[in-house]
Amino acid sequence: MISTVYNRKVIILIMLAGGLFSSCKQADEKIPEDYEVATAWADMTNYIAKTTPSNTPTFSSRCLGYIGYTMYESVVNSSTEYQSVAPELNGLGALPMPEEGIKYKWVLSLNAGQAEILRNIYIQTSDENKSKIDSLEQHFEKLFRDKNPKDSNDNKSIEYGRMIAQRIFEWSKTDGGHRGYLKNFDKALVFKERPGCWRPPLYAQSFSHFPLHPHWGKNRTFIASDSAISDPAFISYDTVPGSAYYNQFKQVYEKEKVLTQKEKETAIWWSDDPDETFTPPGHSYYLATLAIRKTKPDIVKCAETYARVGIAVADAFRNCWKWKYQFFSERPNTFIPEHIDIEWHSFWPDPPFPAFPSGHAIQASAAATVLADLYGERFEITDSAHVGRKRDELRNADFVVRHFNSFWEVAEETANSRFYGGIHTPQDNKIGLEKGKEIANNVNKLNWKRKPINPI
């Protein structure tokens, strides 16, 4: 059912693309806007994430970082206002500039770059998915190529986009997360057990009893300063009722008893299970698409949006995983049955990794902070990412469309949803939201735009 809905989306996408193509052929009209090409690639990116087995929020966030950033660098030189941020990124160095005096068709660069980075970074996806990537690339290429190939710079535009993607992909290989899907679980890992430490979940999302990507926190960040962000404070372990630590879990326990229907819907909406969906960072990428479709910005701002969101969620997950394994903290499903109520289990099953801080919260906060910087604090969003999915019978809840008045509202609901799901304490979420902002501020601080040259 889920895949049916998904397939339907893709069919619509292909039909839309096909429709554009045929009408163009017929009457040389309705060439898609640049933002439509950008968002079509974002849709494809999330489709690949959703339909590639063994995907994880960690690996997915990293892919979004490189895919979004590739989009930016493949078109940034179309603008005199923007500039490459490559020199500011961790060990990348300057990227090749386009040839002087040649008029590039930047949408073709974007198109070729997205196809190239997707093919490389999702090398593990199915042949069927790979041919979907190729088809989308060919479709746009045919649409945008000059009718008269003589004296055309189309090939140069395509080559440039492809080269940028290849350079960025080469750089990605050394970050520690390359082909990370083959190392989801380290079966040789032995962790030291202590009171309050994470234990393999008994009400679990995954069959693995090893924690996911234990070494992900050692990966290179996109932005060096993200790696230097200070460690969060963690409430110290205590089983005495009334203690600060105990109360964290008590709140989760009490909440589960009084969950409203709306809260249940929130919990399942944001679960973004990697086995069934585009993962939580994919949800953030989707929100970027919503902002773009609504405001229809120029090609560079589209690309900047995906680059900022991609880098923000990638570094957010990397830092989050560093702290998750540093604190190695237990989930409510471990503490509550042991100290409050042996019968208790969470509304939503546990993911296979430690609790603190919340990955959902940190990435949602990071994405919301960059999106607010680009589109303003107040921004109305209608999130229908999961509309049409089959009702969750076990939890007696439907997938109901969400409306928000700001990006921050989205981030807060994402964080709260894990509290409603019973898999995160308030401090997991609070710290996640705080640290997500810090990471995003570093992304926002990159010199995306050229500094105005002072007149002498």
Partner 1 sequence: MTYRLIVITIVTSLITPTGFCQSHFTDVTEAAGIKHVFKVFEGMFGGGACVLDYNNDGYEDLYITGGMNDDILYKNNGNGTFTNVSEQAGLAITKKYVTQGVAGADVNRDGFVDLFITTITLRNEKKAIPREINIFLLNNGNGTFRDATSEYGLDSLYSFSTGGSFGDFNADGWPDLYVGNYFNEYYGKLSYINDNTLVGANQIAKGYLLLNEKGKRFKNVYADYKLDFRGFGFGGVFTDFDNDGDQDLIVNHDFGYKRTPNMLLENHYPRSNFKDVAKSFGMDVKINSMGAAVGDFNNDGWMDYFITNIHFNWFMVNQGNGKGFVNKSTELGTHFFAISWGANFGDFDQDGDLDLFVANGDLNPYCVAMADFYFVNTGNHFEDKARQAGLNDYGIGRGSVMFDYDNDGDQDLLVVNQEPVLTYPVPSVTHLYRNDSATGNWIKISLKGIQAESHGIGSKIEIEAGGKKMIREIDGGGSSHISQNSVIAHFGLGKISKIDKITVYWTGGNKQSIINVAANQSITISEIPREKWNYNLIYIIVGLIAVAAGVIYWRNVKSKP
Contact with partner 1 (CB under 8 A) among 176, 196, 337, 388? 337
Q: Which is nearer to partner 1, 145 or 183 (CB)?
A: 183
Q: Does 27 bind partner 1 (CB under 8 A)?
A: no
Q: Closer to partner 1 at the Cβ: 238 or 392?
A: 392
Assess 275 for contact with partner 1 (CB under 8 A): yes
CA distance 350 to 421: 9
Pick between residue 63 and residue 108 the one whose CB is nearest to partner 1.
63
Question: Residues 6 or more apart from 243 whose CB is under 8 A from it?
Answer: none
Angstrom distances, CA of residue 352 to CA of 100, 198, 199, 209, 349: 51, 10, 9, 7, 10
Q: Interface residues for partner 1 in 171-200 (CB under 8 A)?
A: 179, 181-182, 187, 190, 193, 199-200
Of the candidate residues 111, 125, 248, 305, the single one contacting partner 1 (CB under 8 A):
125
Q: What is the dihedral of CA 352, 355, 361, 366, to 10 degrees?
A: -90
Stretch in the footprint of partner 1 (CB under 8 A) among 86-94, 122-130, 258-266, 433-441: 122-130
Backbone phi, psi, residue 110, to 5°: -60, -50
Among 14, 31, 204, 387, binds partner 1 (CB under 8 A): 204
CA–CA dist 386, 70 (Å, integer): 27
For the chain, percent helix, then strand, then coil, each to nearest 5? 55, 5, 40
Q: Report how far residue 195's alpha carbon sits from residue 127's, in angstroms, rounded to the nearest whole number.
A: 47
SS3 352: coil
Toward partner 1, which CB reaches closer, 100 or 128? 128
239 binds partner 1 (CB under 8 A): no
Chain mean position to CA 69: 12
Instruction: Pick one of 205, 243, 326, 444: the residue that binds partner 1 (CB under 8 A).
Output: 205
* Residues in contact with partner 1, shown as a per-residue x/- string from 43 to 62 under the rule CB under 8 A: ---------xxxx-------
| 362: three-class secondary structure by DSSP | helix
Nearest CB to partner 1, comparing residues 21 and 210: 210
> Look-up: residue for tokens 């941020």?
85
Residues of this chain that interact with partner 1 (CB under 8 A) are: 52-55, 123-127, 179, 181-182, 187, 190, 193, 199-200, 202-205, 207, 209, 273, 275, 337, 342-343, 345, 349, 394
